[in-house]
Structure 1
Amino acid sequence: GGKLKEISICTCGPKVNILQINTGKILHSIEQDDQEDITSFSLSPDDEMLVTASRALLLKQWDWKQEKCTRLWRAIHNVPVASMTFDCTSTLLATGGCDGSIKLWDVVKQYCTHNLRRSSGVVHLVEFHPDISRLQLFSSSVDCGIRIWDLRTSKCICVLESHYSAATALAFSPDGQTLISSGRDKICSVWDLEKKAVKRTVPVYEAVEGVVLLPGTSDFSQMGVKGEGLHFVTAGSKGKHSQRAVCSLGCCLMLQLSKQEDDLDPRSLMHLLPMPQSNRLATVTAEHNLLIYQMPALTVQQQFVGYNDDILDVKFLGKDDTHIVVATNSSQLKVFELATNSCQILYGHTDTVLSIDVFRKGSMFASCAKDNSLRLWKMDLKSGHVHCVAQGSRHSNAVGSVACSRLKKAFLVSGSQDCTIKVWDLPNPLPDVGCEPVLMTLYLSDTTKKKISISMTIFPNDKLLASGSQDRSAKLWSLADMSLLGVFRGHSRGVWCVQFSPVDQVLAKASADGSIKIWIIQDFSCLKVTIVSCSQNGINSFLWCTNNNFHSSKKTFLFIGYGCCVFFPRCLYMLYSFSALVCLYFSLSFSSCKDVTEVELAEEQAKQEDQQELSDLLHEKKYVKALGVAISLNQPHTALRVIREIRQQEDGIQELEKTLLKLRQDQKESLLRYCVVWNTNSRSCLDAQAVLQVLLTHLSPEEILQYQATRTHLEALIPYTERHMQRIGRLLQASMFLDYMWQKMRITDQPAADVSEANVLNTDQGLERYSVRQRKPPFWLKDYVSK
């Protein structure tokens, strides 16, 4: 974002996240009160104002540093806003709607200055000319043309036509005489803005989503770029950056900055943004990953993952556990650096990665996937860069589990859905960075003869192998000849995870039946353990420590998560909890571990007691206390239930007024905040309006202004209230017409003496007379009736 080179602003559904790039931490989030998704946003060039547009057709101006909404107003667009941008002075804001209209706003004087209506379809791009004295706005819509608007006359002075698809990005030269446009038609057009004509068409050979003009003062000779002219970078559907130079000779130079395959859609680049203050570029991929490139070399400096799907496996990596490697519901592996949250995305597998395991020293790890293969990866401990050094592909079905040797980096074991377990020798020596991965040698193979192996682990002395299976058992194997030594039984469902202790001759098993069992490997007997567990949505996580008499003076700690199980022999560790949306890490001291089951049960029981108390208060018609309980629990839906219960009484209006006036100031303030949310829904708007009528009738403006964010709440109420009034007005009109039709049906059956009146009613004038004579007109017809 602009001058604040260390800050990035990203949207996520109904909220905006403020990301600190250097540390990778989300400093704070700005969230919409109405929980409507944000469709577009823009940050002013002076980095002071942030404006967001939501599906509720509202524009909000934020002081994003203080996390405060400073202004709210209706967008006037009939449909959501698709694009917006500030001018270079940070005083004008342009918004492009899905209805083909463009609005210009003076954000200082707070009014709409222009309404431009000649575009067809969605206006998905608006840009001001960098020379503000020209007062020109450029826009792109689905009709493939680029329109130039003269803001002095509010007219379209020209339509630039060259692309066969909608233009996706615009870049202006420093002198403002040249425009570069990109499109999904795989070309970039270079325009002479004085002649309004195409100077050159540059083929890109991929759908382009973004284009950025590089500063002319930078030296790109290290990448082979020679000659004078404009240099620009494009980002597109192949997940590649292309640097191109347009010079007087019309030559085109392209430098591919990615070694990714062309046919992988998840790596498509959807946005390309300049970071001029730090001389970097930011790109956003189709998988919501944010990549930061350093110029002029255009090397990847940082990567941030915006979305994690289901987490299938996670392991520590690097010396002193500086990184973690994560297998998500994807063919890519992700290696997070804990200090900065920066991520490396590893490509190699062609289908979902199912399991990973790390060698003892933490610089190498193995992965296996549904593509019937396994790969060996190595980390450079100095730079932290990870690359693939070897691969194996002798399985005939998906490889579901992999285990690495513990004493030396000598071998690894894989288990597949083809019901085989294979032992692989590692190549010696390993290839250097940048070299193609070599093939691993198959040392030994054996069939499990029954169900497939879901999880495997190797004993610390590299002599034993344990495997967990869907047949509800775990097996102990001798790695020398893959002979079966024994079977651990006792679970009622499949065994999803097995793990040896690093300090004792015991094996832990986690099963789909929700239990954890510890076994002695000498006699295959089960031990009793102390378990601390929590469960949510059917996914179990277990954290336990064994009793002191379990082994000598040390304590062994075990973390068992969804699809992974890791022993921790130390006293302080970083544990990681992943879901489909978030990645959370925290420090945990095992010396202070305690069973929290009773605490959770007590909290759940307290919630049930509160709900029961609320029901009792409503039954006894103690509305003041019931409403106070709902507000204290911060439950807007429960408070709405109380309001509706009051309004259903015979004297509901008086009862509601008497109840609300007995509330404290902070409780009235909470109700006002709830009303903003209730008013957005036609089902609850009448309840919100009833509460507002009481508050605005009995409280003075001075009292209301003492509430926090009163201005914001009232501005949010106005547009929806106007919409509800329009709807009710249309309903009243329709109801009068139904009354007229009903009366007409009755008149047709009357004697002939009344026929003249029936004929009069057949005219519009008769309808008006009938409405005036037969019923009291609504308030909006008073002026008409008086005439």
Structure 2
Amino acid sequence: MAGNTLPFKSNYAVSSKIEPFYKGGKVQISHDEQYIFCTCGPRVNILQIDTGKIIHSIEQDDQEDITSFSLSPDDEILVTASRALLLKQWDWKQEKCTRSAIHNVPVASMTFDCTSTLLATGGCDGTIKLWDVVKQYCTHNLKGSSGVVHLVEFHPDISRLQLFSSSVDCGIRIWDLRTSKCICVLESHYSAVTSLAFSPDGQTLISSGRDKICSVWDLKKKAVKRTVPVYEAVEGGVVLSGKSDYSQMGVKGEGLHFVTAGSKGVLRVWDSSSARCVFTQTLPDAPALNTEEGDLDPRSLMHLLPMPQSNRLATVTAEHNILIYQMPALTVQQQFVGYNDDILDVKFLGKDDTHIVVATNSSQLKVFELATNSCQILYGHTDTILSIDVFRKGSMFASCAKDKSLRLWKMDLKSGRVHCVAQGSGHSNAVGSVACSRLKKGFLVSGSQDCTIKMWDLPDPLPDVGCEPVLMTARLTERAHDKDVNSVTISPNDKLLASGSQDRTAKLWSLVDMSLLGVFRGHSRGVWCVQFSPVDQVLATASADGSIKIWSIQEFSCVFRGHSRGVWCVHGSDGLVKLWTIKTNECVKTIDAHQDKVWALHGSSKDDLMVTGSADSTITLWKECEMKQQQELSNLLHEKKYLKALGIAISLDQPHTALRVIREIRQQEDGVQELEKTLLKLRQDQKESVLRFSVVWNTNSRSCLDAQAVLQVLLTHLSPEEILQYQGTRTHLEGLIPYTERHMQRIGRLLQASMFLDYMWQKMRITGGKDR
């Protein structure tokens, strides 16, 4: 729950976001190896591997979760299936649905043949359908499987016209597509078959299963050649081609070798003829798996995907991380985090702020390279990390966690790799906050739920990167508060320390001898964050009582009070970031940052960037807007060029600015007509944004009339079919209903009250007339 109070400029716009894009389910890599396709609820997100950006998001209109999808081998056609039994064919580059069909039951699996003309779908009722994608009709209806068909795969030699499938009976069926008959059932597994991989000549099949075996099949004889005990639940298998040198991976001779991925969280290479494991991947940065709970470990592998053109492999972990390895050394090339959970803290890192380090609701730290969104995961802590702080030059930082410890990390500025160089323990409860010295890499201060503050000297010299971390011992321990210490911060000159506590106070300490200089009293609930001003002799405190206070550190008096709704370090539980001017006690800017609590905020070393992290699992990077753009907006409003002004507000993704434009329009004499004319001239994507903004405005009684005015125009002039094409429309409309009902009830009560007043006025007039 650490944060920052900074001398921010008041104009920021969203520069980029790191958002959840994968929460489990199927993952597929395009055949040109440029894109990763993965499911996220009702969407298939398409991630560009080079940049780490989501470039397309294919969403089902029915908002039902996608149960399966498949990309054609020519990378042109995407087909999705949803729980609503709809099959949709997409021109994914245009995000355009080109065809729809109805399936009788939910589709559990699907795959294209190598010509991109035939699609096989496996249903939850044991049926398999084949579809001619060009002529657009169902060509086969294969029956005979029992239960859900969770795996379908065409034989790579199209002249064979064979389809392989597996269902809950654990058998592998081979279908002759000329006769639509099952010609054989390969029986070896006694648990779910998870993958099928063919040898380059197409004569051998390797199947993997959760029964901890892989089977090597002779497809001519349709019999098992060898059973390979792998001693883990296997989720994916890939056959190595004979074209490359894999001697680094233990491959000798010309036999068939294959790679497995599963519950142990590492890749292993097997010789199919001897059934021996010839190579086991080592993960030096990661702690050993708990063998008793190996199957449940978040690092266990759920998918293994070949990337043959570039001789790479991709794995997907149970905690939704996608890693790309270069063979044969199996070095990590890129790593993408599909889902971050709550963002508890975030800081800029590296020379020129090239990276950010992020603490999520996890025991691992994540270091993102901002240019590519590629991520390095740092192992070491054994419980949730609560706070991080970075030294001034940006190459070293500290973290602390619920595991009662803190760790010191160092980045190699050339490679960008981060390693733990020191660790410290001694607190008797969770360590909630850590602060680094400001002038030089001299010391750390930590605050804990055990009510104490500890000061730690950095090891001298620091161990080299790659060496075992050294132990740090606390130079000084002080019982500082009566309850949890939530936040500690060090002054810019390294002479003062401030602490904030659950006991509702903040305290100022001398770092020379840890003597108490004074106590800041005035908050009615716990103090969650304390921060020194970089320029003035003041201290900022933020509390769960919903207030921000600025204190003079000379007189210990409050010189500023700001209010928000549940404030944590100038960022609030309502998803807003507020910028205040201390001189006038005014909020000069409200940045609509997130959909949930904003736990973390940090400014770059040049003050031109800001990063925020939230419980909505999103990290947002903000860039300072040019004053020119803001001035242009004011000029446009003055000149009554409302359409262009609204367009700028939408492009900046600023609901508050858009609301200002809407209000300006409605205040005109012909406001109703002007609003209608302006809104109907917007592009479809702009109308989508205005609809999304209206949902937010509608939650507040002060802006609900503006929201309703916008909705009246959209709902009156646009057809339901057009509105339903907008992204997330159903969710938005559902979000409008409860607040609109509440507003209507309030208006109803107001109308009743006004009628009563009218009645009373009439009575008074009658009575007064009689008296006269």
The offset of 1:108, in angstroms, is 1.1
Q: Secondary structure at the match of 1:446?
A: strand
What is the match of residue 735 of structure 1?
none
**Aligned residue in 2 for 1:582:** 618
1:89 aligns with 2:115: yes
For the residues of structure 1 that align with 2:31 and 2:149, how far apart are their CA atoms?
Answer: 28
Question: What is the alpha-carbon distance in structure 1 between the residues aligned to residue 242 and residue 656 of structure 2?
Answer: 67
The Cα of 1:306 is off from its aligned counterpart by: 1.1
Considering Cα pairs closer than 8 Å and 6+ residues apart, tell me whether 1 or 2 has the greater RCO.
2
- Asked if the contact 1:531/1:542 (under 8 Å) is kept, the reply is no
The residue aligned with 2:608 is: 572
Q: Is the 8 A contact 2:68 2:109 kept in 1?
A: yes
Q: Are residue 102 (structure 1) and residue 151 (structure 2) matched?
A: no
Flag the 1:604–1:313 CA change in 2: closer, same or farther, 3 A.
Answer: farther
Q: Which residue in 2 is equivalent to 1:29?
A: 57
Alignment partner, residue 400 of structure 1: 432
**Could you tell me how far 1:360 is from its partner in structure 2?**
1.2
Task: Give the RMSD, CA atoms, in angstroms.
Answer: 3.7
Residue 46 of structure 1, aligned match among 74, 78, 92: 74
Instruction: Give the direction of change, closer, same or farther, for the CA distance of 1:542–1:147 in structure 2 (3 Å limit).
Output: same
Contact kept in structure 2, 1:246 and 1:252, CA below 8 Å: no
Rounded to whole Å, the distance in 1 between the matches of 2:74 and 2:472 is 56
Q: Distance in 1 between matches of 2:584 and 2:607?
A: 14
Q: State the 1:469 CA deviation.
A: 0.7
Partner of 1:745: none
**1:152 & 1:105 partners in 2: Cα distance?**
14
Displacement of 1:370 in angstroms is 1.0
CA contact (8 A) 1:239 1:258 kept: no
* Secondary structure, aligned partner of 2:305: strand
> What is the alpha-carbon distance in structure 1 between the residues aligned to residue 108 and residue 519 of structure 2?
61
Which residue among 378, 381, 386 is the counterpart of 1:349? 381
Structure 1 residues 33-74: Cα deviation after superposition (integer angstroms, max 9, x where no partner): 111111100000011111000111011110111111111111
1:186 paired residue number: 212
Displacement of 1:429 in angstroms is: 2.2
Contact 2:240–2:258 under 8 Å retained in 1: yes
Q: Distance in 2 between matches of 1:512 and 1:306?
A: 31
Aligned to 2:675: none
C-alpha distance in 2 between matches for 1:512 and 1:295: 51
Classify the secondary structure of the residue corresponding to 1:171. Answer: strand
Judging changes above 3 Å, is the alpha-carbon distance between structure 1 residues 665 and 475 closer, same or farther for their aligned structure 2 residues?
closer
1:233 lines up with 2:259 in the alignment:
yes
Which AA in structure 2 matches 1:459? S
TM-score by length of 2: 0.75
2:559 counterpart residue number = 527
Q: Looking at CA atoms only, which structure, 1 or 2, has the larger radius of gyration?
A: 1
Q: How does 1:250-269 map to 2 (within 5 A)?
A: 250-259=275-284, 260=286, 261-263=288-290, 265-269=297-301
CA distances 1:208-234 after superposition (whole Å, capped 9, x unpaired):
111111221111223443232122221
Verify the 8 A CA contact 1:63 1:69 in the aligned structure 2.
yes
* 8 Å Cα contact 2:382-2:403 kept in structure 1: yes
Q: Secondary structure at the match of 1:165?
A: coil
TM-score if structure 1 supplies the norm length? 0.74
CA distance in 2, matches of 1:675, 1:350: 46
Q: CA deviation at 1:98?
A: 1.3
- Does the C-alpha gap of structure 1 residues 532 and 45 become closer, same or farther in structure 2, counting only changes over 3 Å? same
**1:479 Cα deviation from its structure 2 partner:** 2.1
Report how far residue 488 of structure 1 moved: 1.4
Over 3 Å counting, the alpha-carbon distance change for 1:571 and 1:403 in structure 2 is closer
Equivalenced residues, count: 630
- State the partner residue of 1:544: 580
Amino acid at match of 2:619: C
Tell me whether 264-273 or 179-188 shows the greater mean CA deviation: 264-273
> In the alignment, which residue of structure 2 is the partner of 1:504?
536
Question: Counterparts in 2 of 1:328-407, with a 5 A limit?
Answer: 328-407=360-439
Q: Which runs of 5+ in 1 are unaligned?
A: 551-556, 615-626, 638-662, 685-787
Amino acid at match of 1:670: S
Alignment match, 1:456: 488
Distance 1:607 1:190 in 2: 72
Matched AA of 1:109 = K
Distance of 1:33 and 1:103 partners within structure 2 = 23
| CA–CA distance in structure 1, aligned partners of residues 439 and 215 of structure 2 | 60
Alignment of 1:614-693 (within 5 A): 670-673=719-722
Is it true that 1:409 corresponds to 2:437 in the alignment? Answer: no
Cα distance in 1 for partners of 2:343, 2:157 equals 49
Aligned to 2:303: 271
SS at match of 1:45: coil
Shift of 1:336: 0.8
Q: How far apart are residue 529 of structure 1 and its match?
A: 7.7
Amino acid in structure 1 at the alignment position of 2:578: F
Inter-partner Cα distance in structure 2 for 1:53 and 1:191: 31
1:162 equivalent to 2:188? Answer yes
In 1, are the aligned partners of 2:600 and 2:612 still within 8 Å (CA)? no
Name which of 285, 296, 303 aligns with 2:317.
Answer: 285
Tell me the secondary structure at the aligned position of residue 4 of structure 1.
Answer: coil
- The letter for the 2-side match of 1:94 is A
Distance 1:458 1:564, change over 3 A: farther
Q: Which runs of 5+ in 2 are unaligned?
A: 1-28, 291-295, 635-653, 673-679, 693-711, 734-772
**Does the Cα contact within 8 Å between 1:419 and 1:453 map onto a contact in 2?**
yes
**Paired letter, 1:170:** L
Classify the secondary structure of the residue corresponding to 2:298: helix
In structure 2, what residue type is equivalent to 1:37? D
Identity %: 72
- Measure, in 1, the Cα distance between the counterparts of 2:660 and 2:571: 16
Measure, in 1, the Cα distance between the counterparts of 2:218 and 2:656. Answer: 73
